[in-house]
Every structure is written in structure tokens, then in C-alpha cells.
Amino acid sequence: MSILKEVYLYFANGLFFKAQSFGSEGTFVGEVVFNTSMSGYQEVITDPSYTGQFIVLSMPEIGIVGANNQDRESSRAACTGVIVSSYNDFTSNFRSEQSLSAYLKEHNIMGICGVDTRGLIKMLTIQGAMMMIASTELTQECELKAHLEHTPPIQDIHFIKEISTKASYAHTDSIFDFAHFDYGTPPHFRAKVIAIDFGAKRNILNELIAVGLEVEVMPHNFSAADILSRFKAGEIQGVFLSNGPGDPLVLHNEIEQIKQLIQSDVPVFGICLGHQLLSIAHGYPTYKLKFGHHGSNHPIKNLQSGAVEITAQNHNYCVPESIAQIATITHRNLFDGTIEGVRYKDKPIFSVQHHPEASPGPREARMLFEEFAKLCCARK
């Protein structure tokens, strides 16, 4: 049984209050955002794109399904902490291997409960995402404020070099039971692609394999010259740019390498951060949304088919409308009209802001992986 401790929270807007801690103890600083998913909290917590952030979960009751080793989206801790209304230490799920409290402590993630999450989310929608500090050690408002003021803002931190793989590797694992999905049995490899790891979710790599793509994962500090040499030699047929945390504008070296990639005719597919980096590399800088899009129930309009797709989302940044000068806008967010997908004119390059691999969330947009596979096969 998890023993709750007192934890003190201080926000950049001056809000200060006491709650209870059920995760790792200590002093933690990060940007606070909210997620509207009703399920899949373990996948959310382990999504590398949440690095450096506290996640306010809108689902009021959290913890009953516990945690297990299969539902993680990365091998290491991702978010800084989670904030919930009511935490349940008792688990009632045949797949549970440990309580959420034990899982958070194992991965050094803070868990905070006993919070009016409805009120907190309302504050964030009005005032926007902001930095906060939470501590089981510091109890005075002045102490917390001073500590927070000496912490660099999230947009100045280069998270990618901490979470990206350190060496290239072949991704062969898959959590899919192919017999229960519409891809049928595992296909033979149709083409080989390089996946650049800016904080890639495991399920993205699984989806690439599911459509018959052999996947080699490379670190964030990749060499475009090396990739293009292998593409010209016929060793690979495409490049995938993954999701990841933080402000894309701080990734100067990565952007320079992508600029070299897009000068060639190599097929490129980007998701989330990869989508943003492609925009910047083409000369169209991203901008920060007020409180971002985080959840597994966000509607978008597929402008090519006319269909409305419910999607998983996790981003604070967006590409500008001016990108329509060089790319066709393929998807739009139906909450605020922002761009959710583009296809570059006269180039084998496309990208989306949402997460077609879901996890958690619906799989209505997963055929984008098949589109990428066809694009790569055309280059063999």
C-alpha cells in the first residue's frame, strides 16, 4: 500500500498549494500541460515527447489498471510527473504487474494527487502552459519560487540528446498480435528505412514494421551525407523523422542535416516533432500554441478524403499557415483549425502533426504508414 506524503506546488503565475505525493519524492521542475485521454495513462507517461513536463490527467480516477512492462512507449522515464484528482493504489487488471505508484518510483517520476484537476485544466486553457515546481522537501512558497526562477525555461533545453539512442540499431520487436489487426500476418520486408530517433515512441516503430518496412534506428546526431550515400547505393529507400520533446527551434544541428536530406529525392515521412523540423528546414519556423494539444480524442479533417478522423495528439508547437506556399495542407485540426498535415509539392515528403500510431487512442489515421511504405517501394 502506497503511503501518501505531503507535496507543495508552485506555479509560474504565483499559484501555491499543498497536495499529496504517491510517486517519487524530491524536488521536480517542469512545464505543466494537460491530457484529455480517458485511458492509456501508462503509454502517456512513457511517451518521450513529455520529457520535461508535468501532465495533468483529466480522467479523475487513475491507477486501477496498474502498470506493466508491455504498455510502455519507451525504455526509460519520460515525463517529469503526473497530476491527478484521485489515485487508486489497488489494481484490478489481469495484466497489471505493479501499482502505478511503484512504477513511478522505479522510474523517478513524481505522482501528485488530491488536486482539483478540473480547475487546474481551466486555468491552463485560460493562461496557457507554464512552468511549475513540486517538492516533498521544500515547503515554503518563497523557497519554491526562488528555485523555479533559477530554472531555465523549457524552450531553452535540448532534451533530444538525453533521450535519443546513442547508437544505431535494428528495431525488430513488435507488440502487435498481427492476427488480430487488419494487416494480417507479418509481411515480408518490402523496403528498408532509417528512423531518426528524436524520442521515438515504440509503437511508431512497430507500425513501420507492420507495413513491411525494415527499420534501422539512428541517433539524433545523424549524418545526412551518410544516409544519402546509402540511399543512392540502394541500401535504404526512405527516412522517417520521429516525434520528440521540446522546442524544435533549438535543434540547430538536426535542422541542418534535414536541410541536406530534403535537397535530394529520398522519401521522408515525419510525425509530430519530425513534422515541425521539416517545416523549419524548408524555411518556415514553428510557433508555440497557448496550451498545446494533448489527448487521444482530438478530431481532425482529412482534406484529401473529406473524412473526420479522431486522433491522438501530443504537441505544443505548430507549423505556420505560410507553409502553403510550398506544401499542400492535407489535414486540419477541428478544435482550432491549425495545420495537422502537409505534403510537399514536387517532393516525396509528407508529414503529420498528430500521432497515427495512437497508443493510446484510435487507429483511424494509421494508413499513413502504408502511404509511406508505397512511397519507399516506388524508389526501389
What residues act catalytically? Answer: 272, 355, 357
- Where does residue 26 fall: left (phi above 0), alpha (psi -120 to 50 degrees), or beta otherwise? left
The identity of residue 208, as a single letter, is L
Helix, coil or strand: residue 213: strand
Q: Which of these, 143, 157, 148, lies nearest to 13 by C-alpha position?
A: 148
User: Which cell is 79 given?
Assistant: 515525463
- Dist CA 272 CA 314 (whole Å): 8
User: Which cell is 371 given?
Assistant: 502511404
> How would you class 175 by CB atoms within 10 Å of its CB: exposed for 0-12, middle for 13-18, buried for 19 or more?
exposed
- Dist CA 279 CA 182 (whole Å): 32
- Give DSSP secondary structure letters for 2-61: PPPEEEEEEETTS-EEEEEE-S--SEEEEEEEEE--SS-HHHHHT-GGGBTEEEEESSSE
Residue whose grid cell is 502553403: 324
> How would you class 336 by CB atoms within 10 Å of its CB: exposed for 0-12, middle for 13-18, buried for 19 or more?
exposed
Longest C-alpha distance within the chain, in Å?
Answer: 63
Q: Which residues contact 172 (CB under 8 A, 6 or more apart)?
A: 209
The identity of residue 341, as a single letter, is G
- Dist CA 34 CA 249 (whole Å): 23
User: Which cell is 57 given?
Assistant: 490527467
Q: Which residues contact 337 (CB under 8 A, 6 or more apart)?
A: none
The identity of residue 161, as a single letter, is K
- Dist CA 319 CA 280 (whole Å): 8
The identity of residue 84, as a single letter, is V
